[in-house]
């Protein structure tokens, strides 16, 4: 085949893969260099020692599991526009349907989430075993979900609700030892002429963009970092047009006002504290710190037509898989226009919480094990203990490949009496007898107290 034809075909295939996103404008993970592939530069923008960084991220490494909340006026249309179901992500409806700002901002006047209960949301997160919450303070639609003085396009000034839910959430988090972070779309803002992303109402210019950054983004960042208590995480997103200088300005504001805050790698060039693989779990883990963010169904923002809920088994096994590779799991809920988390989300999170209540020690603060991959599941490790996560028992004996020596003790993590499990060693490693009655259909966790020899 002629080399030019081959080249054309290769790009045609790639372009076809990108076509839906190109048409929709949504980033296409398949072809956009996912932020996760840009390994976070651990020190370039922070002058701290490795020990100082480790201390700053200690809680995050212990936490392993957080709640993502995508909430904005996009929950009012909830995926429908002019009687049509709009395909794609719920929070992208304005972009997908190219809704003019003058039309779209009318949703704010319909937004009155009187059933929002911050204490209940924090209870749901806590009972699921989640240790931090990251909520959209401003998504690409440009609507601030808090009382911003930098823009009247916000939930206090532009809705009948006339209340600041982030104040409530910050108070509820403080009351319950839940750390709170903010997602902030610093570059895309489909409401603002100078911002990136709205090519159907506006024409982009660098000067107007810098004006938008200085007049809206930087003031709002300062509001969020000074008016809602300690901010644990700043979750920037889609850094189009962000130059190293522009990104450094934002990171410098965070460092100035919330020096202990952890920043993801999506502020722009120059990286951040951690990588952000989205809707996927890296095959073998990835360089540096990282956090997989994922939806419970297929959309971040609420869509009434999206009923494709992942099972609790899938979600728990995702959490275990991620922890076994050294990552964090940020699992999303999309509240409705009434301010409620969908019942199906609550049900999944409750099931995860039930498993975490019995097995959380095999997740929190763990690191990847030195053992080789095991066919029946995953392995995590912490403080001299190895946690065997048996997803699919091969029989009533569990072969632990690569285990050397004789374990001090072996028991089921959920067994508070630590009844010893029967073991025998072979040339390949350790064999553990797992009684059928003890098998957990989601994940049976066996603790192996490491051998002394
Ligand atoms: C972004 C947002 O556009 C989306 O609405 C949601 O908030 C998600 C958590 O973050 O989605 C992205 C961003 C970047 C890529 C893919 C989806 N990417 O670079 O592949």
Question: Which residues partner with 274 through β-bridges?
Answer: 264
**pLDDT at 251 (0 to 100):** 97
Closest ligand 1 atom number to CA of residue 35: 19
Give phi and psi for 197, each to the nearest 5: 110, -30
User: How far is the centre of ligand 1, averaged over its atoms, from the C-alpha of 404 (Å)?
Assistant: 43
Q: How much of the chain exceeds pLDDT 90, in percent?
A: 86
Ligand 1, CB within 6 Å, residue ranges: 27, 29, 32, 34-35, 89, 91-92, 237-238, 278, 293, 300
For 267-294, give one letter per residue: b (16+ CB within 10 A) or e. Answer: bbbbbbbbbbbbeebbeeebebbbbbbb
Q: How far apart are CA 231 and CA 219, in angstroms?
A: 16
What pTM did the predictor assign? 0.92
Question: In a mutational test of the pocket of ligand 1, which residue from 36, 92, 300, 306 has the highest number of ligand atoms less than 8 Å from its CB?
Answer: 300
Q: Give the pLDDT confidence of 155-207 residue by residue, as tens digits.
A: 999 999 999 999 999 999 999 999 999 999 999 999 999 999 999 999 999 99
CA distance 157 to 169: 18
Expressed in angstroms and rounded, the spacing between residue 238 Cα and the centre of ligand 1 is: 6
Supply the residue whose CA is at minimum distance from atom 10 of ligand 1: 237
Asked if the model's pLDDT at residue 240 lies above 60, the reply is yes
Average pLDDT, the chain: 91
The 10s digit of each residue's pLDDT in 386-440 is 999 999 999 999 999 999 989 999 999 999 999 999 999 988 889 999 999 999 9
Q: Ligand 1 mean position to 237 CA, how many Å?
A: 7
Mean pLDDT of 38-61: 77
Which residue, 344, 345, 364, is CA-closest to 356?
A: 364
CA of 325 to the centre of ligand 1 (A): 22
Q: What is the per-residue pLDDT for 45? A: 60
What is the rounded distance in angstroms from the CA atom of residue 121 to the CA atom of residue 414?
A: 27
DSSP SS3 for 190: coil
* Nearest Cα residue to 317 out of 378, 362, 262, 370: 378
Alpha helices in 297-403 (DSSP H): 312-324, 343-359
Say how many residues make up the chain. 453
What phi, psi does 121 have (nearest 5°)?
Answer: -65, -40
pLDDT, mean of residues 370-391: 96
Cβ proximity of 166 and 135 under 8 Å: yes
Report the nearest atom of ligand 1 relative to the CA of 33. Answer: 19
As a whole number, mean pLDDT of residues 253-260 equals 97
Beta carbons within 10 angstroms of residue 102's beta carbon? 8
- Ramachandran angles phi, psi of 212, nearest 5°: -60, -45
Q: How far apart are the first and last CA of the chain?
A: 61
Q: Among 42-56, 79-93, 161-175, which is the least confidently predicted range?
A: 42-56
């Amino acid at each position: 085949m002629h080399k030019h034809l081959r080249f054309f075909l290769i790009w045609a295939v790639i372009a076809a893969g990108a076509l839906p996103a190109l048409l929709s404008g949504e980033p296409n993970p398949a072809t956009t260099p996912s932020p996760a592939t840009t390994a976070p530069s651990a020190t370039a923008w922070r002058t701290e020692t490795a020990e100082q960084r480790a201390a700053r991220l200690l809680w995050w490494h212990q936490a392993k599991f957080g709640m993502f909340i995508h909430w904005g006026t996009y929950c009012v249309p909830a995926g429908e526009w002019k009687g049509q179901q709009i395909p794609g992500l719920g929070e992208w409806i304005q972009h997908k349907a190219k809704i003019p700002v003058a039309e779209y901002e009318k949703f704010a006047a319909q937004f009155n989430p009187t059933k929002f209960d911050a204490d209940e949301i924090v209870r749901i997160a806590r009972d699921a075993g989640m240790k931090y919450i990251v909520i959209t303070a401003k998504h690409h639609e440009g609507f601030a979900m808090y009382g911003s003085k930098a823009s009247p396009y916000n939930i206090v000034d532009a809705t009948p609700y006339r209340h600041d839910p982030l104040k409530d959430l910050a108070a509820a988090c403080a009351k319950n030892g839940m750390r709170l972070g903010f997602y902030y779309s610093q570059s895309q803002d489909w409401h603002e002429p100078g911002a990136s992303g709205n090519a159907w109402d506006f024409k982009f210019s660098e000067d107007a963009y810098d004006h938008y950054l200085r007049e809206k983004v930087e003031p709002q960042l300062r509001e969020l970092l000074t008016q809602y208590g300690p901010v644990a995480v700043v979750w920037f997103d889609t850094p189009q047009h962000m130059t190293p200088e522009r990104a450094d300005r934002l990171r410098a504001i965070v460092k100035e006002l919330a020096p202990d805050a952890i920043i993801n790698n999506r502020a722009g060039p120059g990286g951040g504290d951690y990588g952000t693989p989205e809707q996927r779990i890296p095959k073998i883990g990835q360089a540096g710190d990282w956090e997989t963010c994922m939806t419970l169904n297929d959309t971040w923002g609420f869509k009434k037509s999206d009923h494709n809920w992942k099972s609790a088994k899938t979600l728990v096994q995702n959490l275990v898989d991620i922890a076994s590779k050294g990552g964090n799991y940020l699992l999303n809920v999309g509240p409705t226009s009434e301010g409620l988390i969908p019942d199906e989300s609550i049900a999944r999170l409750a099931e995860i919480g039930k498993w975490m209540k019995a097995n959380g020690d095999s997740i929190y603060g763990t690191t990847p094990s030195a053992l080789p991959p095991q066919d029946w599941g995953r392995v995590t490790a912490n403080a001299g203990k190895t946690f065997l996560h048996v997803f699919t028992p091969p029989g009533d004996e569990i072969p632990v490949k690569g285990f050397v020596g004789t374990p001090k003790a072996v028991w089921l993590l959920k067994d508070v009496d630590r009844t010893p499990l029967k073991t025998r060693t072979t040339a390949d490693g350790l064999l553990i007898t797992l009684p059928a009655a003890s098998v957990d259909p989601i994940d049976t966790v066996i603790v192996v107290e490491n051998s002394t020899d």
